[in-house]
Chain A
Amino acid sequence: MSGALSAPLPGTAAAPSSSRGGSRKVLPGFNLTLGYTLLYLGLIVLIPLSALVLKTFTLSWDQFWAAVSSPRVLASYRLTFGASFIAACVNVVFGLLVAWVLVRYSFPGKRIVDALVDLPFALPTAVAGISLTALLAGNGWIGQYLEPLGIKLAFNPNGVVIALIFIGLPFVVRTVQPVLEESEKELEEAAMCLGATRLQTFTKVILPSIMPALLTGFAMAFARAIGEYGSVIFIAGNMPMVSEITPLIIIGKLEQYDYAGATAVATVMLMFSFVLLLVINALQAWQRKRSGGIK
């Protein structure tokens, strides 16, 4: 692998000077790298995914439809996609705030806070699920004060949303942070000089420039939440029709040795996520075009 990567490198030294006038690419070795890219993606992503789809082909169309559209499965789609959407929205707002503070201000312990953001990445999600449940259940540190007020956060859909917010946060912060860091202060100063209010500066100058990054962060947090299992399973309560997420339905089918049914539901989830990612990509492209010069 390293051979394939390093082979084109010697040529690159000469490239910048000659690339100016002609049609030569800056980085040579396009054929080689394209071949490598396709092979690698094929091995790691496409083959496993096509195995998934192939397995569902052992079902007839009617069986497939029955497996993916029973009322319990439909209820689980609503919960999984709904909770993931809410969690990703919350993460966009508060992730932006966190990124903002981390970029624009300095305070003691900032580096620790910065490192904390990555914790949900590093933690085994089951551990997160268990700790969240311990906090929010009726006898937990926080739950014991909320439950008498009629606020139940564990063992119902609220718990699902909270777990998904937890695991999705770093995606938004880490995509927005570098863009905020790069955004030029002069633009804001110029806006101020021309008499813009703070709100106008934010909505007309800053927001458009970070919009693509925010959308990317949203997409990643959303996609991650849809597939999440470990953290949710402990806090959800797992009641059919109420708080059963789709990955649990898949595990349930596997426990019944219904491989084909499990992959059928998984394929449906895959299609949903794929479409959603496409939509978000299109949004991003549109956004970039609209905000033109800024980036």
Chain B
Amino acid sequence: MKSAKLLFAALALAASGLASAQTQSLLNVSYDVAREFYKDVNAAFVPFYKKTTGKDVKIEQSHAGSSAQARAVADGLDADVVTMNTTTDIDFLADKGVVAKDWQKRFPHNAAPTTSTMLFLVRNGNPKGIKDWDDLVKPGVQVVVVNPKTGGNGRYAYLAAWGYVKKKGGTDAQAAEFVGKLYKNVPVLARGGRDATSAFLQRNTGDVLITFESEVESVNQEFGANKVDVVYPSISIVAENPVAVVERTVAKKGTADLAKAYLNFLYSDEGQEIAAKHYIRPTSEAVLKKYPKFKQIKLFTVQELFGSLAEAQKVHFNDGGQFDKIYTVK
């Protein structure tokens, strides 16, 4: 009898001990190529959170194609925060009522702590002498790019080319002609960003790869520093990397404060420095200035020329849109 009581007490003690030691966990659902970036962010955030609140946290990451991830979250994957590479993906989650309708107002800079832009990678020494968008439509130049139907990377590349003509004072018709010519020079439409990179570097396909600035770092790491040259076109597009709290999950798990702290950390100097190291453009002017590798070129936003990504999607990428016309009208 006595021993049973003792045992019970011991168990209760153990249980309470477990409860206090139980750490909160947070799941960050993100896009493919942000894996290394968030690994560094998490390593910095855990001690930061411990210092400011005294609590231990565990951060888990999940990475795949951006819209595939958004679909998974909409279908019930318990993400606390989503960090994507196109606003379309988070808008989709807002439509489903999973994140707040006004998510873009919840954090500074349209809820995008970092941005990137589209640039060109060419083979070492730039044998075809590619300097700007005009060089991509020349006969004999092969351009590797992502299919805008299947990847955010591809949508930005397409919009950047379109915007280049518009920013130089061209009409929509001229832009359509230019983009049409450019895609005639495409030998392989890759399915996603990494697919494009491996077609260009591993398979030696094409002369130019249009991709995110942030991909340069991983290319250098993966294939060695001297395989490619980076070419900045005169004009390019701002690609926002938006973030949002998944209200559905944090309400259930009680992780709202943690999720907010995590996303705010991305805006801190420490978070912005980590981004800069990964070739992702920080929104903090001060941090941006510290890194001369981010060349200052003329940048335009999607809002400026296309209204929003959702509208660009309708006009250009949905079935029967501008992109389909390039391939169906001979």
Contacts and interface: CB of A to CB of B under 8 A. Distances in A.
Contact of A238 (B65, B191, B205): B191
Given A133-B203, A238-B188, A238-B191, A255 B67 contact: yes
A255 B149 contact: yes
Contacts of A138: 203-205
Interface string B301-330: 000000000000100011110001001100
B204 A248 contact: no
Contacts, number: 77
B151 A255 contact: yes
B150 A248 contact: yes
Chain A, interface size: which category?
20 to 34
Contacts of B296: none
Given A155-B188, A238-B189, A261-B319, A137 B150 contact: no
A50 B190 CA distance: 32
Interface string A259-290: 00100000000000000000000000000000
Interface in A120-147: 133-134, 137-140
Interface in B135-162: 147, 149-151
A256 B205 contact: no
A128 to B, nearest CB: 16
B187 interface: yes
A248 B191 contact: yes
A252 B65 CA distance: 12
Interface stretch (A53-61, A64-72, A203-211): A64-72
B309 to A, nearest CB: 12
B20 interface: no
Interface string B159-201: 0000000000000000000000000001111110001000000
A233 interface: yes
A256 B313 contact: yes
A255 B204 contact: no
A254 interface: yes
B92 interface: yes
B319 A240 contact: no
Contact of A240 (B195, B203, B320, B324): B324
B202 interface: yes
B186 A72 contact: no
Nearest to A261: B319
B318 A256 contact: yes
B324 to A, nearest CB: 6
Contacts of B317: 256
A240 B150 contact: no
Contacts of A256: 67, 149, 313, 317-318
Nearest to A254: B71
B203 A139 contact: yes
B156 to A, nearest CB: 14
A52 to B, nearest CB: 15
A255 B189 contact: no
Contacts of B320: 66, 70
A237 B328 contact: no
A251 interface: yes
Nearest to A156: B187
A133 B202 CA distance: 10
A239 B186 contact: yes
Interface of B: 65, 67-68, 71, 92, 147, 149-151, 186-191, 195, 202-205, 313, 317-320, 324, 327-328
Given A139-B204, A239-B327, A255-B149, 9 more contacts: A70-B324, A154-B203, A155-B205, A240-B328, A241-B328, A248-B191, A252-B147, A254-B68, A255-B68
7 contacts: A66-B319, A238-B189, A239-B186, A241-B327, A256-B67, A256-B149, A256-B318
Nearest first, the 5 A-B pairs at minimum CB distance are A240-B327, A252-B149, A137-B203, A139-B204, A71-B328
